[in-house]
Amino acid sequence: MFLSAQRAKFLVLGVFILCSGYFFGCIHKASPVYHTRDTGLLLHGAPALHSAQPTERVSQARQNRADRSAECGQQCCLPKSHDLEHAALAADALRFRQRRSKRISYIKTHKTASSTLGSILFRLAGRYNLTVYKSPTHGLRLSYFNNRTIPADIALHHWAGVIGHLGNFERWREAHAWYQRVNPDADFVTILREPLSHYVSYFYFYNEPNGGPQNTLEAAVAAGRNRDILARDFAVITPADAQEFEARYWPDFRTVLLSDRMTESLVVLAAEWGWSLWDVAYVKLLDSHSSAGSKRWDGKPIKPTPRLKDLSPDLVQQISTLTELDQRLYQLAVEQLERKLHVLGTEVATLAADRLNAVNRALSQFCSCTDLGPPERAYCKWLALTDMQYEGRISASGRVEPKSLPFLPQ
């Protein structure tokens, strides 16, 4: 009898300790602690996103205007703000380890969702009071050093604003040395994309809007234009360049994301850097497959990008031949991602992906409301800043002023 009572005492104490560690509290059951394959990583989980509260109580809670602006409409803004609050708190409760203090050199690429990733890093700098290198130009000048923001915690700008002007691999060597001076001992982060779809997307964004009767995808492929255009973001032009890049520089890239596997990639990014899933939540900046009406930075209209399945097999094969080095780099990134997902384990990776997808949906739906109040509208615009816009928000001292809403994690 005494033994049973003692066990019961320890059981109650154990549940209390588990619950007290999470600000969500203990609603229905203790929050689980998920162990990844790497014993150095712990993933603390919160209760399920959808609690078992009665419908009437949920309805009443959704009418609660606390921390919402008076102009936040009841038709969409108010209910969607409650959905967002719930998803954001759940996402912020998922953190993999203590946040790393390592610096980040972000190599921004073209047509890879790199501006989306850049905006995530920009907002993260604001939340954690990190310094960002301030460049006077959109594309970094490798001969210029802004000593007011050196050393920086994060470098965000394109190092290769116009990749066709890179010339040869020596430019990457110069860039690597520049980053080592600006961000000493930093780890590199970048993002790639499946090469065939990337080639098509690049053409329809950078080439097709310029016009001309011969400016078609078929003509560009036949002429061999934009060969290995993804690899050129690293000044990799020849197989020898690719070999040197892989052997000498690839190990510096701690995290390489894939835009065609964005959710999994962001989960890995958060896991490696000790960020919560709320830190890597985002809204899409531009969908290249969207309907007509989108415009480029210079105001020229952008046609919707065709999908690979809509192209002829012969054309796809020709594009494949033009992107052999791109595919080589992409395969390295795929292998890296798969290894890291394996370390996390299926249970953890799936849980994290579900939480991240849920908060991203909630953000998108909330920001799509037409009855947002001024604070809510300003916050959504801040989430959707383009690369040139968020670069302009970096102060002269390299600081980012954070922006949030009272009901969201701060």
Q: What is the DSSP string of 33-88?
A: EEEPSSTT-EEEPPSPSS----HHHHHHHHT--TTS-TT--TTTHHHHHHHHHHHH
Q: What is the pLDDT of residues 119-153, one digit of tens each?
A: 999 999 999 999 999 999 888 888 899 999 999 99
Round to whole Å and give the CA distance between 355 and 264: 11
Residue ranges per structural domain of the chain: 104-392
- Residue 164's pLDDT band, with cuts at 50, 70 and 90, is low
CATH value of 104-392 in 3.40.1350, 3.40.50, 1.25.40, 3.30.70: 3.40.50
Residue 46 scores a pLDDT above 70: no
Q: What is the pLDDT of residues 364-406, one digit of tens each?
A: 999 999 999 999 999 999 999 999 999 999 999 999 999 999 9
- Residue 57's pLDDT band, with cuts at 50, 70 and 90, is very low
Residue 329 scores a pLDDT above 90: yes
Tell me the angle at which helices 77-92 and 55-62 cross, rounded to the nearest 10 degrees: 100
Q: ∠ CA 377-379-384 to the nearest 5 degrees?
A: 95
Instruction: Give me the residue label for tokens 């102009």.
Output: 71
Q: Tell me the pTM.
A: 0.84
Q: Name which of 126, 156, 151 is nearest 138 in CA terms.
A: 156
Percent of the chain with pLDDT strictly greater than 90: 69
Round to whole Å and give the CA distance between 295 and 322: 27
3-class DSSP state for residue 9? helix
Q: What is the dihedral of CA 124, 125, 126, 129, to 10 degrees?
A: 120
Tokens read off for 53: 């509260």
